[in-house]
Amino acid sequence: MMKASIWAVLAVPAMLAGCGDNRSPAQDAADVAEIRAMHDNPPAVPIDPERISYTDIEKNDLFGAGCGFAPENSLSVIALAQPERGFLKIDGAIVTLSPDKGGASLPMSSWQNYAGSDYAFELKQLPGEGEESGVESTSWPGSLTITDAKGKAVYQSEGTLQCGA
């Protein structure tokens, strides 16, 4: 008698689970695929690129002609684009990126796109008149988009693109 009641206790929840659920195996498979996709392709983790200071420029020999980007309402450059390399500062470290020389160019022989192993950035010169902002520099409206290694946007801002020697 004891064995029969144990089986009844175990079988009832299994039978009840199947009673009210009209889900098809295809719906279950779709749900499983969606959860796997979220696991295998997690959302982008936003970053906050830091100001590239003059000390950073001296310490890492970042001198040279090119373009710098400062976000809106800031004078702090957070991305540098030069003819042979691009730079970001993330978590206190200077990150060096390579230019896409087959893509669009910017003033001062710099490029619109730069990529590295962990991040890439796209620097755009937006429509608008350039203004002389120094003896050998000009500023335009610009935008910066930084993506992670999977191509997901982790930072985006409009601001000022300043190019000069």
- pLDDT tens series, the chain, 165 aa: 445 444 444 444 445 455 556 778 888 888 887 877 766 778 889 999 999 999 999 999 999 999 999 999 898 999 999 999 999 999 999 999 999 999 999 999 999 999 999 999 999 999 888 888 877 899 999 999 999 999 999 999 999 999 998
Amino acid at 57: I
In this structure, the answer to whether residues 138 and 110 fall within a common structural domain is: yes
In this structure, the answer to whether residues 77 and 152 fall within a common structural domain is: yes
Going from the C-alpha of 8 to that of each of 14, 16, 21, the distances in angstroms are 10, 12, 21
DSSP reduced 3-state for 17: helix
Q: Which residue range is the domain that position 140 belongs to?
A: 54-164
In this structure, the answer to whether residues 90 and 24 fall within a common structural domain is: no
In this structure, the answer to whether residues 86 and 147 fall within a common structural domain is: yes
User: Contact 149/117 with Cβ under 8 angstroms?
Assistant: yes
Amino acid at 75: L
Going from the C-alpha of 4 to that of each of 1, 7, 9, 11, 13, the distances in angstroms are 5, 5, 9, 10, 15
Q: Per the structure, how many domains does the chain have?
A: 2
In this structure, the answer to whether residues 20 and 90 fall within a common structural domain is: no
Whole-model pTM over 0.85? no
